[in-house]
């Protein structure tokens, strides 16, 4: 075996070992960790509330946008009528 190959194999082995050690040290998931589970629940609730707010804002924007478009068209019609009357 070439010395360079041996060094490469050792580097790969150490890298894999350090990744596995970090993963198992952190627990890999929030199961069994009450603080992490509580944080996940809180974050999910925050996301749900934000989605609800965005839904309401979208509704306000689209509803008012339609009303604004109708008002603009009414003004245009009013201008066309007044232009006809002046002519």
pLDDT tens per residue across span 36-61: 889 999 999 999 999 988 888 777 77
Round the average pLDDT of the chain to a whole number and report it: 80
Question: Would you state the structure tokens that stand for residue 2, as one six-digit string?
Answer: 């070439």
Mean per-residue pLDDT, 18-42: 79
What whole-number distance in Å separates Cα of residue 72 and Cα of residue 57?
22
Please give the full DSSP string across 42-67, using - where no structure is assigned: HHHHHHHHHHHHHHHHHHHHHHHHHH
Higher pLDDT, residue 24 or 38 = 38
Q: Where are the domains of the chain?
A: 1-30, 33-87
What whole-number distance in Å separates Cα of residue 55 and Cα of residue 33?
33
With beta carbons less than 8 A apart as the criterion, state whether 30 and 36 touch.
yes
């Amino acid at each position: 075996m070439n010395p360079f190959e041996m060094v490469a194999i050792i580097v790969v082995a150490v890298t894999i070992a350090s990744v596995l050690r970090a993963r198992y040290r952190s627990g890999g998931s929030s199961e069994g960790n009450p603080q992490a589970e509580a944080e996940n629940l809180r974050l999910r609730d925050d996301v749900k509330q934000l989605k609800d707010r965005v839904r309401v804002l979208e509704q306000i924007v689209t509803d008012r946008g339609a009303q604004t478009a109708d008002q603009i068209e009414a003004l245009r019609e009013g201008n066309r009528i007044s232009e006809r009357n002046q002519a």
